[in-house]
Amino acid sequence: MSSAPAARSGSDRADRPAEGAEAPGHAAEAVRSAPADRPGSAEIVHIVGARPNFVKAAPVVAALEARGLRQSVVHTGQHYDDRMSAVFFRELGLPRPDVDLGVGSGSHAEQTAALMTGLEREFIERSPGLVVVYGDVNSTLAAGMVAAKLHIPVAHVEAGLRSFDWSMPEEVNRRLTDQLADVCFATSPEAVGHLAAEGVAVDRVHLVGNPMIDTLLARLDRFDTAALRERLDLPGSYVAATLHRPANVDDPETVARLVARLHEVADQIDVVMPVHPRGRASLDAAGLAEHPRMHLLEPLGYIDFVALVRGATAVVTDSGGVQEETTMLGVPCLTLRPNTERPITITHGSNRLVTDSELPGLVSKILAGAGTDTAALAAVPPMWDGGAGERIATVLADWTSGVPAPGPRRSA
């Protein structure tokens, strides 16, 4: 895996106009005609749109800033209000976005189309030397498609994760983005294997570790559970819950069943649940709040949310990022999904995939001290050491300086 990946030529991407189609405008043609591997002064543009992106981008942006590289942050506005967006920039030390496209919500097609339109305009104006995308949200795929068609190199942070569940929009996004990317930054060894199996060239892949863990480790002393309990009037012991995926919150029958199971958990221990905007209406309609030991909160900022997780007896979630955070914090995690794109959280952590029918019984076991065998857990996953941002920045710095690729299996 090289340290200075070369951008693929136009022949590698199906970006030529269809026969009979109009030629692109002069501005777009100027971007396409520019060399894709310009060293030195080329601007690195980071694309973020949702709260998981912000957590992953923060250590990369900081490491590049320390190297004095020219960069900018484009916020697509996929998560657009203070609770889901601006508070994360403040708490993570991210620079104020140079651009906020303000795309907002909508169907997948509507949102992706709006993202592509806004990003194309932005890339043509900026003519960046490299676009860095994060995770698997719609902003990630939209930026990858637009950049690829404009012959702008793409780097994908958190490449190679796979759930093998095509019903998940995130699975579609991450697979397509990896095919478009010129450089793939993998967080775990199995992600490298997935990329190899899909034909991604070895010189495009770097095993760098997990930048989300960088962010967590750098702020450990700020996750004050006791202060959070006092400020929000929370119980001394609780299960933290968070649900937002379509498979769990879109179908009324599924939602009703999940709410009943959460109430069974609340019969045993208080449940504290920041309610994601995406599922609020369906959860409210199913009577989520109609239990005296359910504590429903507005979405929390990063510091408060991880403090909540850190102090929990267990966590019930369908979030990928929470599976990683609980692995690092050693908190039992019950993931309400049939699969996970982060199996390393099961092999190296206390995460477990569960069905809703299993949930109350497993919480009972955890309360009895028999839910997870934490003593048998391996050390933290490889390269989850707080250095992922630095390793990514080293590769990107080599890119801008034109350093030849030594071809290591891991980025140092």
Separation of CA 196 from chain center = 21
Q: Report residue 212 as tokens.
A: 């989300």
Q: How far apart are CA 323 and CA 389, in angstroms?
A: 20
Backbone angles phi, psi at 245, to 5 degrees: -75, 145
> Which residues are CB-contacts of 244 (< 8 A; sequence separation ≥ 6)?
276, 278, 279, 318, 319
Cα maximum dimension of the chain? 70
Q: Is 302 helix (H, G, I), strand (E, B) or coil?
A: helix
DSSP run (H or E) holding 401: helix 388-401
DSSP run (H or E) holding 316: strand 314-317
Residues known to be catalytic = 244
Q: Report residue 231 as tokens.
A: 């400020």
Q: Closest Cα partner for 56 from 27, 94, 90?
A: 94
In this structure, the chain runs to a length of 412
Q: Is 397 helix (H, G, I), strand (E, B) or coil?
A: helix
Q: How far apart are CA 78 and CA 50, in angstroms?
A: 6
Q: Closest Cα partner for 366 from 314, 328, 330, 326?
A: 314
Q: Is 4 helix (H, G, I), strand (E, B) or coil?
A: coil
Q: Report residue 25 as tokens.
A: 């405008």
Q: How far apart are CA 275 and CA 267, in angstroms?
A: 20
Following DSSP, what letter does each residue of 224-278 receive, concatenated?
A: -HHHHHHHHT--SS-EEEE---HHHHTSHHHHHHHHHHHHHHHTTS-EEEEPPGG
**Start-to-end CA span in the chain (Å):** 11
